[in-house]
Structure 1
Amino acid sequence: MSGITRRDVTRLGLGACLGAAATSLTGCGALAGLGGPQADRDLPRIIGDGSTSYTGAQPHQPPSPSPLDPGQDPPQFVVFSWDGAGELGKGLFPRFLELARAHDAHMTFFLSGLYLLPEDKKRLYRPPGNPVGASDIGYLTDAHIKETLKYVREAWLDGHEIGTHFNGHFCAGPGSVAHWSPAEWHSEIEQARSFVKSWRTHTGWHDHPALPFDYDRELVGGRTPCLLGQRNLLPAARGLGWRYDASSPGGVQRWPRRRGGIWDLPLQGIPFPGHRFEVLSMDYNMLANQSGNSTRAPSYHHADWRLQATESYLAGFRRAYETNRAPLFIGNHFEEWNGGIYMDAAEEALRRIALWQDVRLVSFRQLVDWLDAQDPAVLTKLRSLQVGERPQGGWSAFLRTGT
């Protein structure tokens, strides 16, 4: 099947292609009898060196969004997202894929392009403002690249979004992403895409299954390292047709707006139990406020910190749900910092949030699909609500006809 696995074929409804007659991709498409124009019947279509493939519309997507009816309550959107999205043999990527399946949730995985580039090919990476092959997050082993490919494939087939976390994760010094120009961001993005689109050439694993998506079509947003450099990223992202960016630091829980024609979807300040200040809605920021920068703090703190992180996410959720219904954005890393308590907190928060009515656990891409389908006047009205502000007279009055 030219690198399309039996599992992928089955899940895409191409089971008839598994017989002896399925000797080519074109033959597979014909045997499957897929509807639509001829171009869509001849699926899957291998792209480039076979690292990626076009397999049609992404499975497990919600129905096409429609505008809110006059007076209708807006849904409570919650986006869980993952920076880097590499599987390092700890089982965290598959753990959260299983969690999402159990709760009909979708997420965004911001894949670092370097996680698909072997270290012996690192000189192919030319990071702006840094030496050739440099990376502040290192490179994965061959075994971990294979695991990452496996779970990225599964994630897309489950309906999750594959965004980008770019490549070398440079947060400090003169070569920091904070100082990159739009042209340098464009170079970084194109390199990230090339590492995803050419992993077969770079690894030599020509019998390994293709990714089931066209990354040029799929990549519509990302999050920068350390939430730095958005101002100069936006012109490059706009030129590439991106629809959103999730790199703003310190956003507030209000309905999003566009910046430079692109939806600005920031991590947000949320209540932090036991403190008067708010914490950014990301695992690392919980850690920074609990143990400084220590990822191996004494274990006797872990139970209290796990509960505090969980309750912080839930407090941010409840504040939005009970007032302005602004989307909640939660960021994570596949890391076992402080005994894995932030993974536990994210899991528990998702399980409990999923129990509430009118909640939609979505990817960033699915959220902007919904935003783009709304009446601009309704979005303007929603954006008028401040953090923790309830709609005057309830939603039926606030979003009545003639808003």
Structure 2
Amino acid sequence: MPRLSRVVAFSSAVLAMAGAAFADPPAPPAPAKPKQIVIISFDSAREISQWQRSRALAKRTGAHFTYFLSCVFLLSPQTRADYTAPAKSAGKSNIGFAASKQDVADRLDQIGLAASEGHDIASHGCGHFDGKDWSKADWLKEFASFGHILENAYAINGIAPEPAGWRAIAHAVVGFRAPYLSTGKGLYEALAEADYHYDASGVSNGPVEPPTGGGLTRFSLPQIPEGPSSRPVIAMDYNLYVRHSGGFERPSQAAEFSDRTYQAFRAAFDRQYQGKRIPLVLSFHFTLMNDGAYWNALERFADETCVKANVECISFRDYVQRQRGGDRQAAVGG
């Protein structure tokens, strides 16, 4: 009888091992999610106080921003004739010029500081004209004006000394956004020839992965749901300003507009963060519309999201350099 017990025990052990051998292997671990990318940029980049405020926001959140600079703000009233837009006389601009030589000097200082802190200095052209009908030659003229004025801004305005490394900042410009987001065939032909690496003038139905072709990566501002009826709006402060108050100041409703903006940004972020993690692109101007409602929303949003371990708030240039270098961002999770 004891011998029979040993046989049964042995048989049971063999069956158990056989079962283990034929069991399904453990499922492979789920692929790690990429970090959520948020790309925040500013158009025109005029007001000195907003340069300082944005840089302070970046320092406390670890973000890197893109500044789409309009080069007319590097020309004083005395030097404005150094710019001639396509089909315009010298010294014409849709957005004016710098207030004074000192204003130019202060802005140049901010640009240098931002560049040294790792931010992306990019082009918004010069005079903020609608170039949808411009030819390739017109755009090349505008790009040449931007490059010349940025590189030689200290000399043009008689500001001394020019800081060491300034011209390297000017030569590092690789991105562009068209005024009014107004594009055309001539623009894209010129961008390729002028060796820009990215354009951020597009608009899309929600966040999309930016395509690259012909050496140019093309980013789009997404339309995101906003307000009580969740109607789509371009994720830019000016478009929200028009949505909320018809483009007129209503400071008494600033808190309401700021909260609506924040809620729209946060919902768009959460949708990607919990989903496919497509980069989220948000855009602003230095103008404090509706008593600063949109900047207040930006700061609230960035203070909450950019500091997360699995979120990166980076510039357009950072994103493109990673893709070109094959340096896909670090993954998180497991």
Name the TM tier (shorter chain): 0.7 to 0.9
The percent of aligned pairs where both chains have the same amino acid is 29
After superposition, the Cα gap between the structure-2 partners of 1:178 and 1:115, relative to the gap in structure 1 and judged at 3 Å, is same
Q: What TM-score do the two structures reach when normalised by structure 1?
A: 0.71
Corresponding letter in the other structure for 1:149 = L
Distance 1:230 1:318 in 2: 33
Gaps of 5+ in 1: 1-69, 171-175, 379-394, 397-403
Q: Which residue of 1 aligns with 2:125?
A: 166
Cα separation, 1, equivalents of 2:243 and 2:266: 17
Counterparts of 2:311 and 2:317, CA distance in 1:
16
Q: Does 1:300 align with 2:258?
A: no
State how far apart, in whole Å, the 2-side matches of 1:324 and 1:137 are.
39
Show the 5 A alignment for 1:55-204: 71-88=31-48, 91-142=49-100, 143-170=102-129, 176-204=130-158
Are the aligned partners of 1:283 and 1:331 in contact in 2 as well (CA < 8 Å)? yes
* Cα distance, 1:130 vs structure 2: 2.4
Q: Structure 1 residue 246 and structure 2 residue 206: aligned? A: no
Per the alignment, residue 11 of structure 2 pairs with: none
Check conservation: 2:151, 2:171, Cα contact below 8 A: no
Q: Give the paired residue count.
A: 301
Query: Structure 2: which amino acid aligns with 1:266?
Result: S
Query: Which one has more relative contact order, counting CA pairs under 8 Å at least 6 apart?
Result: 2
| Unmatched 5+ stretches in structure 2 | 1-29
Structure with bigger strand share is 2
Which residue of 330, 334, 346 corresponds with 2:286?
A: 334
Q: Tell me, yes or no, if the aligned pair for 1:251 and 1:266 is still in contact at 8 Å.
A: no
2:206 maps to amino acid: V
Aligned partner of 1:236 among 190, 201, 222: 190
Q: Which is greater in Rg?
A: 2
Which position in structure 2 is the counterpart of 1:34?
A: none
User: 1:49-108: per-residue Cα shift (whole Å, max 9, x none)?
Assistant: xxxxxxxxxxxxxxxxxxxxx9332221111101111234xx111111011111111011
Indicate the SS of the match to 1:135. Answer: coil
Cα distance change of structure 1 residues 217 and 208 upon mapping to structure 2, 3 Å threshold: closer
- Work out whether 1:347 is the aligned partner of 2:299: yes
Structure 1 segments (4+ residues) deviating >6 Å: none
Offset, 1:234: 1.5
The RMSD of aligned alpha carbons is 2.1
What is the distance in 1 between the residues matched to 2:172 and 2:312? 21
Structure 1 residues 374, 323: closer, same or farther in 2, change over 3 A? farther
Cα distance change of structure 1 residues 216 and 94 upon mapping to structure 2, 3 Å threshold: closer
- TM-score normalised according to structure 2 size: 0.84
8 Å Cα contact 1:87/1:144 also seen in 2? no
